[in-house]
Amino acid sequence: MKTTSTEIRVRYAETDAQGIVHHSNYLIWFEEGRSEHLRQCGLNYTDFEKAGFFIVVVDAQMQYKAPAYYEDRVRVETTIEKLGSKMIRFAYRAINQQDVLLAQGSTTHLVLGSDRRPTRLPEKFVLPLTAEG
């Protein structure tokens, strides 16, 4: 499946007292990467919600490799690693302007229907997610 890129510029508020990006921000950046990935597939979260589907995080994994600092440009690469009928797993890599891997991780999402119970994702949503282009 295709990989998309989203650029983030580190904001001062995302750093800690040592001037290093606080670890919690990477999940926020990964969420931005995921949202942009869906947009580049021709979808967005509101499309799912308007159709009565909710894509909720059930697991998040993260490995930190190197620090990021204020004003760094970070490229978040996002790929759908696994797409099942009721689950989606996204993989992420955060890379700085010198091509240093800062962090990598994944999030696993469960598809819920309007009744908040696990349900199959309709084909009209699956097809754009599996397209290579």
> Helices in 1-133 by DSSP H: which ranges?
24-40, 45-50, 123-130
For residue 71, the SS3 value is coil
For residue 78, the SS3 value is strand
C-alpha neighbours within 13 Å on the C-beta side of residue 18: 6
Closest CA to 94 of 3, 8, 12: 8
User: Which listed residue (16, 47, 72, 99) is catalytic?
Assistant: 16
Q: What is the DSSP letter of 86?
A: S
Q: Is 16 a catalytic residue?
A: yes
For residue 37, the SS3 value is helix
Which residues are designated catalytic? 16
